[in-house]
């Protein structure tokens, strides 16, 4: 049975997307750094290559989080790349929480 998505469902859908992008960004930020540190004593060349990829991927994934728009106020969800609200998971403009929504995703 087909039915139109309600506003709540659209907002929750968008929140899940932002959460997912955020998580990927954190995993790359932490994981890539750890991987580079672990590789230094093993192979400096490999560590340098991972380090370079890490910087590029970190910026790319952070940009993708930065480009998320809030599903409620339709402004940028995060105002700056490293704002205090970044870890809080709230919209910089209207305060919509990422936790409002389904637990899945
Ligand atoms: Zn908002």
Q: How far is the CA of 38 from the centre of ligand 1 (A)?
A: 39
Q: How far is the CA of 75 from the centre of ligand 1 (A)?
A: 6
pLDDT computed for residue 43 by the predictor: 95
Q: How far is the CA of 18 from the centre of ligand 1 (A)?
A: 12
For tokens 């990927």, name the residue: 24
pLDDT computed for residue 33 by the predictor: 93
Q: What is the pTM of this model?
A: 0.77
Measured CA to CA, the distance from residue 92 to residue 35 in angstroms comes to: 32
What's the average pLDDT block by block, 10 residues per block, for the chain (105 residues)? 75 91 92 94 95 95 90 87 62 86 52
pLDDT computed for residue 50 by the predictor: 94
The vertex-12 CA angle with 60 and 6, nearest 5°, equals: 130
Q: How far is the CA of 72 from the centre of ligand 1 (A)?
A: 5
């Amino acid at each position: 049975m087909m039915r139109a998505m309600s506003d709540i469902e659209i907002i929750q859908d968008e929140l899940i997307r932002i959460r997912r992008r955020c998580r990927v960004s954190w995993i790359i930020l932490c994981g890539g750094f750890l991987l580079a540190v672990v590789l230094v004593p093993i192979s400096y060349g490999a560590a340098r290559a991972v380090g370079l990829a890490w910087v590029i991927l970190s910026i790319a994934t952070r940009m993708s989080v930065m480009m998320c728009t809030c599903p409620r106020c339709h402004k940028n969800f995060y105002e700056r790349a490293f704002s205090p609200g970044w870890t809080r998971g709230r919209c910089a403009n209207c305060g919509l929480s990422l936790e409002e929504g389904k637990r899945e995703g």
